[in-house]
Structure 1
Amino acid sequence: MAKQYWIGDFFVDLSRNQITRNKQPQIVAPKALAVLTSLAKQQGKVVSQDTLLSEVWPDTIVSPNSLQRSIAQLRKALGDDGKGQVYIKTHSKQGYSLECHVRWQPEPQPQLLTTSKSRLVPEEGKPLKSVEDIPTIFASWHIKLLFFFTTLVLCGFIGAHFATSDTSQSFSVGEIRALTASDGREFASIYSPDGKYIIFHRYSQQECVNNIWAKNLDTQQEHKLTENIDSYGSHSFSPDGKQLVFIRTMDCEQPTIQKKCYQLISMDFKMALREPQPINILLECKTSEIRLPHWLNNNEIALMQREDTQWQLISYSAQNNQSTVLYQVDNGNIVYYDYSVKDDLFSVISIHDDSKYYIDILNSNGKLISSNLINFPPEAQRRRFLVANFSPIENHLIFSTGRQFFTLSFEGEVKNISIPLDQPTFSPNFHPDGNKALVIKGNYDSDIAAIPTNRVKAGTLALAQHIIERSTVAEDSVTVQPNGSLIAFSSNRSGSEQIWLSEQSKLIQLTQFPIDSYISGMHWAVDGSSILANVNNELVHVQLDGTQHHYTTPHLILELLNWNKAHNTALTLANIRGVQKLVEYDLNTSQFQVLTDKRINWADKTDSGQLIYTDRMDKFWLLGRVEAEPIPALNNQGGDNKPFIVKGQIIYGMNNNFELWSFNLREKQLNIIGKLPSNTVSIDDVDNTHIFITARIASKKEVVELILNK
């Protein structure tokens, strides 16, 4: 059989394990190519999973997950994200089919290269014209000379282009080394300016405290720098490495418009290595939010600051106790920024008035040098958060979507790079000399429990007895089928987040979303026939046979809150020009309506269509015909941004004391039902007899060092 063939404009070369398009080859695993070849031989026909497993893995016992991973690899290589299924189509409970036309490449015949009518075959297999096909005009000497110089310039341009654009060849990992191995959860790791220490947070789940730690990379000795002073954000060193600055988040003593207050704190690093140091408050914000401090080369401190909904980049001088606005986006918003000490530049990820991502490069004074639209490949599109940091590759940043890493050029071009990591990671922070980087690697483990309501009331609750879905990774977002026996939930147990169905002890994986997918809200249709889910910031309608319909919305969907199947409207939190808004979409017409300009934490609707929401102070509001009215009985019942659910005319929620409560909108009566376990993350659903919750089991995060190949 031929070892080369075409699928549309993709050239498949089995001898090289490559799929090539527009002279851009991709290396694909041999087993995945074997699956593709089996489908190509039966082009247009459904090939069962059993057939594919027996052909590709003969005399070997493998799980269907191996086949699913190969299909996912092929879709990625073909630019087919599985939504439209242009190339490889899934037939629920039947198998797969290759939908695109296949052209088999004849085996090349050995022949001598001559100057007569021999035909040269390039890498992708497309024949060149013979010598006799070239117009005779090139016989003229001056045309020959022009052709020579044109070719020389063109080759130089192409060579320069690929030398600078193929960044994936400039970044590869030679070794992966774990740096921390405690029972705590580590995060926000950076190197000291001299590269001798790493600094990181460590949260102890047993003691429920967080501290900043330092580790000497030569001696492996660890030092606790702080003494239980609440929660922190990221941190940064002064240019001389003597001071460390970070942000402390705490409950406001007398909240006015927000519950959390923010302090910018500095610390003498050398003294803290000897013993934990008292804090030195440089700046305190009670009506705005600050995050991401970076100590600049001019000894000022850059911060992101938000007042109401607008983020801006500011520079704060501790010496003068004054701040200056460096940059803000008109009719848009800042998402993230990084600062390069080496180049004295800012990179700003922003969303502009077209609701699209841009990369803005600024000098240290905030002057805009360039602003470019970010061109995402299919596997990195529609991401809720884009955390891109400066990298050793000139004029490029690097970001992670979980188990995939990407380079981002100053011009907005994104390319996938392969890093051998088996667990989700956060975007890397690089060593001052650029030869290694720190990432946070690990898994979050949560389970689903169905707790009898009478057990909650009686206070005789043993959580372990009521776990209904358990694995070593995250299960959450449980929702019960109306008028049925199915339970739907999301889980990472197959390697990426998918929708699963459970009926007693029988489990079915309903979806096959691509790698690094995440689900933020899902709801059953009233008749229990289908599910609407928010997958990768996009609304997806999933039938019980696995078929899907993807809705195109002009904005990123951050959370799906409610679905009215009768009117086919979706209540969502959406990202509009970089600002979170409460939005209702008409899925039939793609029209949308912003329901309020307030900052909303959570919202839901009653069966009669009444809207209930919580604001940034966790106060409950009922939207009436003219204006929103507060629900005073629910003051102090909202918890810190905790979600609530509405069933009929009853609201169910959990407060900060983990008390489960209900509130009847008709009778205006609050009922404290009982106390839930302290590791309850959220209340997901309620039926006549049970409360369905997500419970946190463990969160293992550790600092890992990537040693780069030189």
Structure 2
Amino acid sequence: MTQQYWVGDFFVDISRNQITHQDDTQILAPKAIAVLTALAQNQGKVVSQDALLDTVWANTVVSPNTLQRSIAQLRKALGDDGKVQVIIKTHAKQGYSLESNVKWQHEEHTQTPPQTTETLNQPVNNKSDVFQFTFKHAAAIIVSVALVILAFISLSEPTPAKLEIAKLNALTATDHRENAGIYSPDGEFVVFHRYEERLCINNIWAKSTKTQEEFQLTQQLNSHGSHTFSADGKSLYFIQEQDCRQPITQKQCYKLMGLDFAKSLRGAQTPTTLMECKNTRISTPIWMQGNQIALLQQTEQQWKLISYALNEQQSRDVYVPNEGSVIDYDYSLADDLIALTHVDGDGNYNLTMLKPDGTVLSQNQIELPPEIAKHRYIYPNFSPFKDRLMFSTGRQLFTLSYEGKISTIELPVDVPMGSPRFHPDGSRLLVIKGFYDRDMASVSLSELAAHYQDPLRDKHQQLYTIEERSITSEGGATFQPNGNLLAFYTFRSGIQQVWLKENSKVRQLSNFPLDSFIYGMHWANDGQSLLVNVSKELQQLTLAGETQTFSFNYPIEQLFYWDSQNQTALANIRINGIVKFAELDLSQLRYTILTNQPANWAQKDSTGRLVYTDGLDRFWYSNTLENTLIETLNEQGSNLQFVIDNDIIYGINERFQLWRYSLETRQFNIIGDMPRNIDYLSDVRGDKAFISLRIEAKKELAELVLKQ
């Protein structure tokens, strides 16, 4: 087989896994080159995903995600755009095609771009032609000089990082959920949260990396989020969340806690409260030199970086954006350096390197490559790669230079994982992997009410019907207006996509790229299309699979409602890093702020009046002059969403009771008890309600051992 060929003016060398363009050579994964070669052999023709998988990954079981990742790598190397698709074109539900010209050549031929006959035979007959010829040569010299300059500049660009995995070790294999894993400073222990769902208890555990013995460090902690060690490994610090006794601005209160690690290994201990916040949120504690704890703190929706001095028991600001908000940060003990990502007042996404005293060393805008969604925020950690951070988008790993440049990491592990934590010696890294199994179910409201009113009812009786089941997450089920279709989203194809169900038949409607996530979906008034918030960007999706993107210049955090007739939508949006509740004008790509805080959920009634819940789960109803609190529904709100059908609000309270409230008559009543593993209420039509049920949520710690 010929080992070299041209795709347009890109020279492909199969034997070296290289793509060269104007003296710029890139090395790609062999499988990516094999995919390109298979497409080149069928230039201009559509090659199905199955055919490509059978050709490139013969006798190997892989998911379609693996192929899509190779396509993304090829598009980046070829300077292609996933949206415009000039070179590699995606054909929905069919496959891919290579649209550029392909010229095959033998190995003894030189790397000279194929020239057209018109160029080769052009005569030089007059002064004008001579001038053109001379000008072309001058231009070529200028281009050559420019390429030399670019090559010199590129020396400072980060080269692609490589991680070669020797083996994958499972560190925990229980029926519980483990997350937030970190190594102890000496690397001898892994510390993590373990949530026992049957008992609804969350505690911190430790596991010896040598003996595999486990130690429960706390008792009924109910703590979530990350934790951090002091440099000597003697103390462990973390955030504890609990219900506020008298909520004022938030339902949860937050405490910075400390724990003696050595004592906890001998028996579970009660942690010590170091700092408590009742009106602000704190998260992401990291111990720093000088016996300080760095923390993120949120005040009026803006996040800032603070530090808490353990000796003085006082906090101070380290970095507060003039406008915008901090997104994430990490700290390097070895370099005494902070890396911080934030959104500024112009909506730009930046990386700031600073010292713990707040001195800014550098600040650069982060340049997201095509394979990372436009509004995707990243959460980088320090890594063994010099002057580069590391982060994950789910199934893809990247490095981020201190100058804001992103490079892909080749990693042969096809499982979603969070940003990894490296062992102190850099020889291995800790990751969290797992899955979320959620089913769609329906409930008859009349049967539920009859059962609830029966004084002899069996509280353990199953009153729901599973409508759609897979081994992954199904959710967001909504009825088609004036139709029989049911729209929902699921990971059953490997990537979260929109699917349609009619009677017993289901089909995939969307074809979103790798690492896409859906944050809300709503039918059009006529039932002929859906508005989907995919990767925080709104796309209108027709029943034929055609899409239209509404390119707002800011992230759409959550889509609640869509009025297709007036082309307006209700959503939480992030303006310069601050999340606010707004109404969107899709025709003009404009917004109107409704509240300066995010809503928990929102809908509109038949007259177009707004109903929403705030951060305290209180219900508000819009009137001509101002929004009115629906006092009857105090204590009935929760994070399980609500639905309005025929001007009746249906919701689920924190006691897992389904209720209804008429906006017209203002009558309220409890319908019945819902299963305690309910995730949320997604839709109601007449006597039928759709819910999402959590079947199993599995997270576990794993360790990737690197080749030395």
Closer, same or farther: CA 68–472 of 1 in aligned 2, 3 Å: closer
In structure 2, give the amino acid aligned to 1:478.
Answer: A
Partner of 1:287: 279
2:171 to 172, 179, 186: 179
2:670 to 629, 653, 672: 672
In structure 2, give the amino acid aligned to 1:621.
Answer: W
Closer, same or farther: CA 504–537 of 1 in aligned 2, 3 Å: same
Task: Work out whether residues 53 and 67 of structure 1, in 8 Å CA contact, stay in contact via their aligned partners in 2.
Answer: no
Partner of 1:121: 111
Worse-matched range after superposition: 372-381 or 451-460? 451-460
Q: Residue 671 of structure 1: CA displacement?
A: 2.1
Closer, same or farther: CA 154–650 of 1 in aligned 2, 3 Å: closer
Give distance in 1, aligned partners of 2:373 and 2:280: 31
Give distance in 2, aligned partners of 1:34 and 1:451: 52
2:311 to 285, 302, 319: 319
2:616 partner SS:
coil
In structure 1, give the amino acid aligned to 2:29.
Answer: I
Q: Deviations over 1:468-523 (max 9, x none)?
A: 11111111111111122211111111111111111222121112211111111111
Task: Work out whether residues 479 and 684 of structure 1, in 8 Å CA contact, stay in contact via their aligned partners in 2.
Answer: yes
Give distance in 2, aligned partners of 1:606 and 1:355: 33
Partner of 1:624: 623
Give distance in 2, aligned partners of 1:213 and 1:277: 11
Q: Deviations over 1:433-465 (max 9, x none)?
A: 222211111111111112222232233785596
Q: Residue 103 of structure 1: CA displacement?
A: 3.9
2:328 to 326, 331, 336: 336
Task: Work out whether residues 63 and 494 of structure 2, in 8 Å CA contact, stay in contact via their aligned partners in 1.
Answer: no
Q: Does 1:32 align with 2:35?
A: yes
Closer, same or farther: CA 72–290 of 1 in aligned 2, 3 Å: closer
Task: Work out whether residues 105 and 125 of structure 1, in 8 Å CA contact, stay in contact via their aligned partners in 2.
Answer: no
* Map 1:396-407 → 2, pairs under 5 A: 396-407=388-399
Give distance in 2, aligned partners of 1:59 and 1:400: 25
Closer, same or farther: CA 428–59 of 1 in aligned 2, 3 Å: closer
Task: Work out whether residues 172 and 700 of structure 2, in 8 Å CA contact, stay in contact via their aligned partners in 1.
Answer: yes
Closer, same or farther: CA 283–126 of 1 in aligned 2, 3 Å: farther
Closer, same or farther: CA 160–394 of 1 in aligned 2, 3 Å: farther
Q: Deviations over 1:345-393 (max 9, x none)?
A: 1111101112231111111211111111100111113354421111011
* Map 1:124-135 → 2, pairs under 5 A: none
Q: Residue 647 of structure 1: CA displacement?
A: 2.4
In structure 2, give the amino acid aligned to 1:649.
Answer: D
Q: Residue 313 of structure 1: CA displacement?
A: 0.8
Partner of 1:297: 289
Partner of 2:123: none
Partner of 2:161: 168
Q: Gaps spanning 5+ residues in structure 1: where?
A: 111-119, 130-146
Partner of 2:560: 561
In structure 1, give the amino acid aligned to 2:549.
Answer: H
Q: Deviations over 1:140-170 (max 9, x none)?
A: xxxxxxx9xx99x99899589558621414x
Task: Work out whether residues 439 and 705 of structure 1, in 8 Å CA contact, stay in contact via their aligned partners in 2.
Answer: yes
Task: Work out whether residues 637 and 651 of structure 2, in 8 Å CA contact, stay in contact via their aligned partners in 1.
Answer: yes
1:593 partner SS:
strand
Task: Work out whether residues 558 and 572 of structure 1, in 8 Å CA contact, stay in contact via their aligned partners in 2.
Answer: yes
What TM-score results when the alignment is normalised by the length of structure 2?
0.88
Worse-matched range after superposition: 239-248 or 3-12? 3-12
Task: Work out whether residues 359 and 410 of structure 1, in 8 Å CA contact, stay in contact via their aligned partners in 2.
Answer: yes
Give distance in 2, aligned partners of 1:581 and 1:58: 47
Q: Residue 621 of structure 1: CA displacement?
A: 1.0
In structure 2, give the amino acid aligned to 1:32.
Answer: V
Q: Residue 38 of structure 1: CA displacement?
A: 4.5
Partner of 2:496: 497
Partner of 2:387: 395
Q: Deviations over 1:659-688 (max 9, x none)?
A: 111111111122211111100001011111
1:216 to 197, 201, 208: 208
Closer, same or farther: CA 82–449 of 1 in aligned 2, 3 Å: farther
Closer, same or farther: CA 231–67 of 1 in aligned 2, 3 Å: closer
2:263 partner SS:
helix
Q: Residue 197 of structure 1: CA displacement?
A: 0.6
Closer, same or farther: CA 281–502 of 1 in aligned 2, 3 Å: same
- Count residues with an aligned counterpart: 670
Q: Residue 109 of structure 1: CA displacement?
A: 4.8
Worse-matched range after superposition: 160-169 or 259-268? 160-169
Give distance in 2, aligned partners of 1:274 and 1:161: 54
Partner of 1:143: none
Partner of 1:449: 441
Closer, same or farther: CA 543–198 of 1 in aligned 2, 3 Å: same
Partner of 2:87: 87
Give distance in 2, aligned partners of 1:9 and 1:306: 51
1:666 partner SS:
coil
Give distance in 2, aligned partners of 1:276 and 1:54: 54
1:373 to 356, 365, 377: 365
Partner of 2:582: 583
Closer, same or farther: CA 60–401 of 1 in aligned 2, 3 Å: closer
1:210 partner SS:
strand
Give distance in 2, aligned partners of 1:523 and 1:626: 28
* Map 1:623-642 → 2, pairs under 5 A: 623-639=622-638, 641-642=639-640
Q: Residue 256 of structure 1: CA displacement?
A: 1.6
Q: Does 1:245 align with 2:242?
A: no
Aligned CA RMSD, in angstroms, stands at: 3.0
Closer, same or farther: CA 555–157 of 1 in aligned 2, 3 Å: closer
| TM superposition outliers: structure 1 runs of 4+ over 6 Å | 58-63, 65-68, 124-127, 153-157
Q: Residue 13 of structure 1: CA displacement?
A: 3.9
Residue identity over aligned pairs, in percent, reads 42
Task: Work out whether residues 482 and 527 of structure 1, in 8 Å CA contact, stay in contact via their aligned partners in 2.
Answer: yes
Give distance in 1, aligned partners of 2:557 and 2:428: 33
Give distance in 1, aligned partners of 2:426 and 2:34: 35
1:540 partner SS:
strand
Q: Gaps spanning 5+ residues in structure 2: where?
A: 121-140, 452-457
Give distance in 2, aligned partners of 1:596 and 1:531: 26
Give distance in 2, aligned partners of 1:390 and 1:126: 48
Partner of 2:351: 359
Task: Work out whether residues 75 and 88 of structure 1, in 8 Å CA contact, stay in contact via their aligned partners in 2.
Answer: no
Partner of 2:606: 607
What TM-score results when the alignment is normalised by the length of structure 1?
0.88
Partner of 1:74: 71
Q: Does 1:529 align with 2:528?
A: yes
Q: Deviations over 1:610-629 (max 9, x none)?
A: 11111111111112232221
Q: Residue 322 of structure 1: CA displacement?
A: 1.1
Closer, same or farther: CA 11–502 of 1 in aligned 2, 3 Å: farther
Give distance in 2, aligned partners of 1:157 and 1:68: 34
Q: Does 1:256 align with 2:254?
A: no
In structure 2, give the amino acid aligned to 1:669.
Answer: Q
Q: Residue 531 of structure 1: CA displacement?
A: 1.1
Give distance in 1, aligned partners of 2:235 and 2:284: 16
Partner of 2:25: 23
Task: Work out whether residues 75 and 81 of structure 1, in 8 Å CA contact, stay in contact via their aligned partners in 2.
Answer: no
Give distance in 2, aligned partners of 1:54 and 1:176: 27
Give distance in 2, aligned partners of 1:77 and 1:313: 39
Q: Does 1:643 align with 2:641?
A: yes
Closer, same or farther: CA 475–154 of 1 in aligned 2, 3 Å: closer
Give distance in 2, aligned partners of 1:216 and 1:411: 38
Task: Work out whether residues 388 and 397 of structure 1, in 8 Å CA contact, stay in contact via their aligned partners in 2.
Answer: yes
Give distance in 2, aligned partners of 1:88 and 1:462: 54
Worse-matched range after superposition: 614-623 or 241-250? 614-623
Closer, same or farther: CA 6–205 of 1 in aligned 2, 3 Å: same
Partner of 2:544: 545
Worse-matched range after superposition: 680-689 or 645-654? 645-654
Q: Residue 95 of structure 1: CA displacement?
A: 5.7
Q: Residue 587 of structure 1: CA displacement?
A: 1.7
Partner of 1:113: none
Give distance in 2, aligned partners of 1:401 and 1:71: 14
Q: Residue 538 of structure 1: CA displacement?
A: 0.7
Task: Work out whether residues 477 and 682 of structure 2, in 8 Å CA contact, stay in contact via their aligned partners in 1.
Answer: yes
